[in-house]
Each structure stands twice: as C-alpha cells, then as structure tokens.
C-alpha cells in the first residue's frame, strides 16, 4: 500500500510540474533571442525599402500624374452606367477593400477585392497575377463587364470631353491623336496612359506603422517597460507562434507580410463553384496581355522585364493564388481569394487543419495549434492594424 501511495505521489508531482510549466509557457512572455529580434526587424516597416521603379510607366512618380490619377480613381463616369468607380470596390475606409466576399459593381466579380495598399511592391497584380504592373491592372476593370463595363473608347472620350481632364492629360502625355476609333494605336496609347495615371496615384498608397512596429522598436532598443505596455502577453505569444512553431513567415514575410508569390493552400471553392485554376491560368493571361511589360505601350525602351521573361509556369501552379499582405488584415474581411472565410478565426482554423486541395496540391501542413494558441495568433495579427488607413493624396 505504501508503495502504491508513493507511486501515486510521484504521478501527482509530475502532473503538477507539467501544469505549472504549461501555465508559465502560456502566461509569461518569452525572452527574444538575437536571431528572433533579427526576424522581427525584417518584418518592421522600418525595413521597407524605397518603392521599386516602374520603367514601363514614365509618370509613375510624377506628382501631377498622381493627382490626375486620384481624380480618375474616384470618378464613376468611367463606367458604363456612370455609377461605378475604382473606389466602389477599393474603399479607403476599408483599407481599399469592400468588405464583400466578391467585388460587387455592375455585376459580381469572380474573386475577392484585394487591398491595393503597398501593391507597388508586387511584381504581379490580382490573386492569380494576371497583370504585371499597376497600370496594366488599372485598365482591366474598366473593360470588365462585371466591373466598370466600359470600353476604352468611352473612357478616353470622358477625359477628352472634360476641360480639366483634357488639360491634365495633355500636360502629362501630349495630344491625344485620333481617338475616334479609326486609329486603334492612338486610342490604345491614350487608354494605356489612363492606367498609368491611376497607377501613379496608387503608388502613393503605402502602409503606415502599427503597434507591431512600435513593439519591434521597443524590443530592439531593450526598452522592457515600453514593450510590455504595447503588447499583451497573448499578443507576444501569438507573435512567437507566428514566427516560430506556426511558420507563418514562410509565406507572410518581409515588412508587408507577404512574399508576393503564389501558393496552393487548399482553400475550398464556394458551394456550386468549380475549383479555381489560379496562377496556372493567370500567368498565361499575363503573357498574352497587350499592355504587359513587353508590349508596345511600355515606356521602357530597354524592355527590362525579367519577371515576365523568366516567369515560372507549369502544373505546380494549379490552384495557387498570390499571398496577400497581412498589414491591416483586421480591416479586410472576408478572407481568401473568394471570401470563403468570414473571420480571422475561420481563416486560421483553415490553416490549422490544412485540408486536401480540390485541385492541385495543398502546400500547407496542418499547424496543429491549440484553441488558445489560435486565439493568440489572432491577437497578434490585430496588432498589424494601423491607427489610420492611408488617405488619398
């Protein structure tokens, strides 16, 4: 009997030690190693490099072009029904998204509206990367029957028929030429210039620092008091999981929390929809786009188009979509490329389970985090919300 009691006592002690250890792990914030601090610095906006140039757009960094492009961005006259603007889906108050599973304009878009904040840093636009520049992307919705539903002739006619627009256009690009439709080269050039002006405005939409960036500064400076005032214990543990056990930085890395690459993560299609082919179809569309970097409307005489020239193709891209930025992710619900996840918690549960892909191969592995750990990661993600969204210039 005594022997049995001793054994029971040992078991109790072991259980107590395990429980105490688990409690300490869950409540006491971690001490960051030098290697981890380097990772945190790499995620901070302080590490964001200068905007990459866009040689294909001669007015990319022209302030007058940005001001002109801003007016075009908010002008519904560029649509078939006079009621749809770029800002209809890319709403400033929602971090330039719309809060809907799929974009809603004249019709319903095929996919969720991604934020365009910081998109100048990406070599590819859209979820499937079917455009290779901001200006090429800006042109596509204008003629999409589910979005603006307009035509390049109508778009250019609006600008030519507005005194202020016509003056701004001529100051930037010169005379229109024959835009009646009889000269397709002149019309297409003018249409391309509209996209370039809009892109100049979109290049001004850059993320601003959040509480996370202040926390990284405090950690790097060794300021414990400030660090503890900025993050709760759960937020600290969520960050540690994000860069460690959950390995989220494999795709969501860098100051914008995206590698701007394409991955199949097994996101299921909406009920009644066929699986989305994703990048495997998008890359072919990018290569065929007359407004791409290699096309006649590029302003770069050297055609420096390494991304397009050496673009990756192949069956491994089936079902892959572009990694979105997590900056201000709290403001951009619903999530995934077709809005399949209504909340951050639902999106995290998807990655925690990593189901088989309906098409192609799911690259993600189950995270196998506990319910509490998932809540901690979600708490951390909310620290990426900036105190204010970027405003129009």
Reported as a single tens digit per residue, the pLDDT across 191-209 is: 999 999 999 999 999 999 9
Flag whether pLDDT at 28 surpasses 70.
no
Nearest to 112 by CA among 96, 121, 124, 101: 101
Length of the chain: 393
Flag whether pLDDT at 24 surpasses 70.
no
d(Cα 187, Cα 181) in Å, to the nearest integer? 6
Position 391 scores a pLDDT of: 53
- Asked whether residue 246 falls in the same domain as residue 377, the answer is yes
Positive or negative, the Cα torsion across 49, 55, 61, 67? negative
Flag whether pLDDT at 5 surpasses 60.
no
Confidence of residue 62 (pLDDT cuts 50, 70, 90): very high
* Residue 198 token pair: 């809009």
Q: What is the CATH number of the domain that holds 380?
A: 1.10.760.10
Nearest to 164 by CA among 227, 90, 72: 72
3-class state of residue 327 by DSSP? coil
Flag whether pLDDT at 119 surpasses 50.
yes
- Asked whether residue 164 falls in the same domain as residue 223, the answer is no
Position 3 scores a pLDDT of: 56
3-class state of residue 97 by DSSP? strand
d(Cα 361, Cα 232) in Å, to the nearest integer? 37
- Asked whether residue 228 falls in the same domain as residue 188, the answer is no
Read off the pTM. 0.90
Answer for the pair 277, 319: CB distance below 8 angstroms, yes or no. yes
Peptide bond into 124 cis (omega under 30): no
Structural domain boundaries, residue 342: 29-48+208-278+318-384
Position 91 scores a pLDDT of: 96
* Residue 146 token pair: 């589910």
Q: Tell me the pLDDT tens digit for each residue of 343-386.
A: 999 999 999 998 888 888 898 899 999 999 999 999 999 999 99
- Asked whether residue 258 falls in the same domain as residue 132, the answer is no
CA 301 from chain centre, in angstroms, equals: 30
Position 182 scores a pLDDT of: 82
- Asked whether residue 132 falls in the same domain as residue 154, the answer is yes
Dihedrals phi, psi of 372, to nearest 5 degrees: -65, -40
Q: DSSP label at 293?
A: T
Residue 312 falls inside a structural domain: no
Position 252 scores a pLDDT of: 98
Tell me how many domains the chain contains. 2
- Asked whether residue 84 falls in the same domain as residue 176, the answer is yes
From 176, 202, 228, the end of a domain falls on: 202
The partner residues of 131 in beta bridges, in order of sequence, read: 125
- Asked whether residue 44 falls in the same domain as residue 73, the answer is no
Mean local confidence (pLDDT), 230-258: 97
CA 256 from chain centre, in angstroms, equals: 8
Dihedrals phi, psi of 335, to nearest 5 degrees: -110, 170
Lowest mean pLDDT of 28-37, 72-81, 222-231, 273-282, name the range: 28-37
- Asked whether residue 342 falls in the same domain as residue 223, the answer is yes
3-class state of residue 238 by DSSP? helix
Residue 365 falls inside a structural domain: yes
């Amino acid at each position: 009997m005594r022997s049995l009691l001793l054994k029971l006592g040992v078991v109790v002690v072991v259980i107590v030690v395990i429980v105490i250890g688990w409690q300490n792990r869950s409540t006491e914030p971690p001490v960051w190693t030098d290697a981890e601090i380097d990772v945190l610095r790499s995620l901070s906006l302080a590490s964001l490099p200068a905007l990459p140039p866009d040689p294909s757009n001669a007015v990319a960094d022209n302030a007058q072009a940005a001001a002109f492009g801003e007016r075009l961005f908010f002008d519904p006259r560029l649509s078939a029904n006079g009621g749809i603007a770029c800002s209809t889906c890319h709403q400033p108050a929602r971090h330039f998204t719309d809060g809907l599973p799929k974009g809603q304009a004249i019709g319903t878009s095929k996919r969720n509206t991604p934020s365009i904040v910081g998109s100048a840093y990406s070599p590819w636009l859209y979820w499937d990367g079917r455009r290779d520049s901001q200006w090429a992307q800006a042109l596509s919705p204008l003629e999409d029957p589910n979005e603006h539903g307009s035509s390049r002739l109508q778009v250019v006619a609006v600008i030519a028929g507005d005194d202020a627009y016509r003056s701004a256009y001529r100051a930037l690009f010169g005379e229109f030429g024959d835009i009646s439709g009889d000269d397709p080269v002149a019309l297409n050039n003018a249409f391309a210039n509209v996209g370039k002006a809009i892109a100049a405005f979109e290049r001004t939409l850059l993320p601003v620092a959040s509480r996370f960036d202040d926390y990284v500064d405090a950690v790097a400076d060794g300021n414990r008091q400030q660090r503890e005032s900025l993050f709760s214990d759960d937020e600290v543990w969520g960050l540690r999981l994000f860069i460690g056990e959950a390995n989220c930085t494999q795709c969501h890395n860098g100051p914008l929390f995206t590698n701007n690459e394409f991955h199949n993560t097994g996101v299921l299609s909406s009920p009644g929809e066929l699986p989305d082919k994703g990048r495997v179809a998008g890359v072919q569309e990018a290569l065929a786009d007359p407004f791409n970097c290699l096309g006649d409307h590029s302003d770069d005489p050297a055609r420096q188009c390494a991304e397009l020239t050496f673009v990756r193709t192949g069956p491994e891209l089936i079902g892959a979509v572009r990694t979105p930025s997590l900056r201000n992710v709290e403001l951009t619900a619903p999530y995934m490329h077709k809005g399949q996840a209504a909340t951050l918690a639902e999106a995290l549960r998807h990655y925690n389970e990593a189901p088989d892909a309906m098409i192609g191969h799911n690259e993600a592995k189950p995270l196998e985090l506990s319910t509490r750990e998932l809540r901690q990661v979600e708490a951390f993600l909310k620290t990426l919300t900036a105190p204010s969204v970027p405003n129009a210039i």
